[in-house]
């Protein structure tokens, strides 16, 4: 393709970049990540969750993972704050009998004290003190989080010098916050693994979705850098970056 043809293809990816729930299926097969984490989030949740537990999924996205657990709906609650996902949750979760509440403030979650046996949160926001309030004694909070160093090498490729948006999101600092809130840490792990893109269009779509990691990213602004990425893919078959994840299981 010519340079202008490449620009047109990438601008099309930029134009259509959006997600319904938390659905990355548009670029499946064109990128890979989280293939080799040292833990299995689902398995850990299932290890602690029984059918009699009152469960809350805070920042549920579109409820996809929550529904895949097949927990009794009458014992299931969920929150979400991103407006398109709020609408999706109202359409999919509420008819099932799941107690869904709109919430975008992790420090003010609209449920009573000691309402839940298990609270889960994957790649969402949280406040350790508020979680402690919501859990029954002996209850657990299970979270897999995106760390502050996530995708930093990819950010540097297209937006060099961009400040890290969440520098305190790392296991050491977050573990201390949970301990200070009164939790007992049952499990804590951190991992750095590769993320791979096989075409620049997939990366463009990805970067537009993750606007907090790639602020002010656009094809127009970053076109020379994207061309360099394209050359690298033509030569090596891929561009590669690094994801940062950490896992905490905390007991009240």
Model pLDDT for residues 59-93, shown as the tens digit of each residue: 999 999 999 999 999 999 999 998 889 999 999 99
The pair of structure tokens assigned to 104 is 């975008």
| 145 alpha carbon, distance to own chain's centre | 7
What is the residue-averaged pLDDT of the chain?
96
Strand partners, 122: 144
What pLDDT does residue 168 have?
A: 95
pLDDT at position 22, please? Answer: 67
Question: Is the CB of residue 126 less than 8 Å from the CB of residue 217?
Answer: no
**Average pLDDT of the segment spanning 180-188:** 98
pLDDT at residue 41 greater than cutoff 90: yes
Residue 18's pLDDT is: 79
What pTM was estimated for this model as a whole?
Answer: 0.91
Residue 156 pLDDT grade (very low, low, confident, very high; cuts 50, 70, 90): very high
Does pLDDT of 23 surpass 90?
Answer: no
The DSSP-derived string for 137-201 is: EEEEEEEEEE-TTTTHHHHHHHSTTPPPS-TT-SHHHHHHHHHHTTPEEEEEEEEEEEEEESSHH
For residues 133-145, give the mean pLDDT.
98
Write the burial class of residue 91 (CB in 10 Å: 0-12 exposed, 13-18 middle, 19+ buried). exposed
Per the CB < 8 A criterion, the answer to whether 182 and 252 are in contact is yes
Indicate the helix (H) or strand (E) that contains 116: strand 116-122
Integer-rounded Cα radius of gyration of the chain: 20
Look at residue 137 and give its three-state secondary structure: strand
Q: For position 91, what pLDDT does the model report?
A: 96
In this structure, the number of other CB atoms found within 10 A of the CB of residue 137 comes to 8
d(CA 82, CA 22) in angstroms, rounded, equals 11
What kind and span of H or E run contains 174?
helix 171-180
């Amino acid at each position: 393709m010519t340079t202008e043809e490449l620009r047109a293809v990438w601008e099309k990816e930029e134009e259509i970049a959006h997600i319904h729930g938390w659905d990355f299926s548009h670029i499946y097969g064109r990128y890979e990540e989280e293939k080799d984490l040292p833990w299995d989030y689902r398995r850990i949740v299932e290890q602690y969750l029984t059918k009699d537990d009152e469960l809350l999924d805070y920042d549920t996205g579109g409820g996809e993972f929550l529904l895949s657990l097949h927990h009794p709906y009458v014992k299931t609650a969920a929150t979400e704050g991103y407006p398109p996902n709020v609408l999706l949750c109202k359409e999919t979760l509420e008819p099932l009998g799941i107690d869904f509440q709109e919430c975008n403030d992790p420090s003010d979650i609209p449920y009573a004290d000691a309402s839940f046996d298990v609270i889960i949160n994957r790649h969402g926001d949280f406040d350790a003190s508020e979680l402690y309030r919501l859990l029954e004694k002996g209850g657990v909070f299970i979270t897999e989080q995106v760390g502050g160093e996530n995708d930093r090498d990819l950010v540097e490729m297209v937006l060099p010098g961009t400040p890290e948006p969440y520098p305190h999101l790392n296991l050491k600092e977050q573990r201390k916050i949970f301990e200070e809130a009164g939790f007992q840490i049952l499990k804590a792990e951190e991992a750095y693994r590769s993320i791979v893109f096989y075409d620049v269009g997939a990366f463009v779509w990805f970067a537009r979705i993750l606007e907090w990691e790639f602020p002010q990213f656009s094809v127009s602004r970053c076109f020379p850098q994207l061309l360099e990425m394209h050359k690298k893919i033509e030569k090596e078959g891929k561009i590669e970056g690094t994801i940062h994840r950490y896992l905490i299981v905390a007991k009240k």
